[in-house]
Structure 1
């Protein structure tokens, strides 16, 4: 993988296992996220040509491994970015789970390494470690986990993890195991990324901030003789006109009140995540000044932890912003939008034709009767494509 600007990009979508709807911070317009709905989103992503889907993790979400196991059999090409949690899972167990799901999905598993940034949630999961200690656990975990998926029999004694004679008897489909994705903005996180993962992920900060962060990661990786790929996590609100897109952004937070925003920000402030602090600094808990860069809006982060920014605009504007991030060396774009089913279709129809997507040749050729051409006119003829 190369740090240079990539000619092709991978576009992911998102499975909203922690809830979905038409508005943020309210039950108004809320939507049941059950297995049939998740199947709809996954099938849409698969059929529309998305590279993969990210499945979130944490106590607010359905378990990502079980969700991926339920959805992989009904999809054909879609990859699943599923979390391993150092400190919650022993590395040998995580390696066996990864090898199994990689085989069951015929090599469509990707791994998202999540260290965790909410001390309150961590304590509920039995983790009473400092920020630095959690990343030490992550380094030890990945040392054992990666060796196991390469087929080694492992003896290891660290400060937090010890195994003797650990091994994975049934190998994964992908050589050396599914690729490792990882995000984090602290110095400890960047050290893990530079030395142990394949793809470094950032949340959707303004391009100048992303460029500065990637420069540090790239330098650290090069010092270790390593080359990473890079990805970004963003929401998206795309409409046929810019005015419609910004109106949709305003509607998304139309039911938010100040008490709800304050409650969310109080939760975020207790976290020891550097990335979350950087996200919160973009809006400072205020509705004012949410347009933080061209076509970049911080409104989602008023009540949503983690990724809190969205690309907002018409198809050409959104595609141009994506190309700006691509020019920084980013080749993996993980998007989501509200509601996730409808926005997956909008983005695929309006923006993806404007992007240099990888894997286009993997998509099945459409036959005469499957379009896309719209509804037959008068039961007699297909509509004609407008002249450009």
Structure 2
């Protein structure tokens, strides 16, 4: 059952204190993976019921959709938790694991006002690097949800995605208003996926490290800003095709904004990367788009003020009159384009002429 809370139960703990909490000893052996984000329990948490590790999630959320978890405690889910309207989960640095790799942690369909923050979602204990995709093993899957917020969470070792957001042409997709902000994604097959009209949402200030693919975006009007992507074989893919989380064969593909991000070391020259089992279904065909930033067959995003080192950019038959790469740092990488519409580089810098981008196909360096 959900228990009344006290000031003591929500006192923020340092990372050392959280790692010493109940059920964390086995997970603590995972070197280099953050197991518990700093607890950001606001004073208002004092009024939230506590959902304990042995409590029934469905029964508790049916009584009160707004709960907090025990600081630093470990929770193992036997089945995915279906989230109701106006869910608030204050994680307080708790750790969520799943009983098997054929399931995810949290799901919701056509819900409003879901907020999840301050959790570690741990897909498994074994390293995922170079493992094959298993898209059922996705931490949070939101379908046709409105006004959601996922913030200050760590997503580690998921063979599907950390977060998958899917929309629908049947909805008022101008009003999805989703926020995915301030999270870490470590060694997941996908970090995040936005597909099927999951429009007008914000992906901001997240850090992606050593994922097979950091960002999949086949939705329209996604603003992607302030993110750090490092050692991810795929940095950003956007295709006018179906995908593991997107079923639409025609859509309002992309034309969002990719601004002020860092995309480094997709090609190598950094730490460990995902170099095996890189192909996954795109348009119903097992495909490896290659390293770096890839757009294919759609209106590409506004691409301004980004920093790319050792991370290629490739456009296959994009449908803008021209795709402008504006005010970017572009060093130790290649830029290529096929089709009749060019890529144009406006105002870039690199680490000297020897490390300037290699251009191929329909690419023009304007200045």
TM-score computed with the length of structure 1 as normaliser: 0.23
Structure ranking higher on relative contact order (CA contacts 8 Å, 6+ apart): 1
Q: Which has the higher helix share?
A: 1
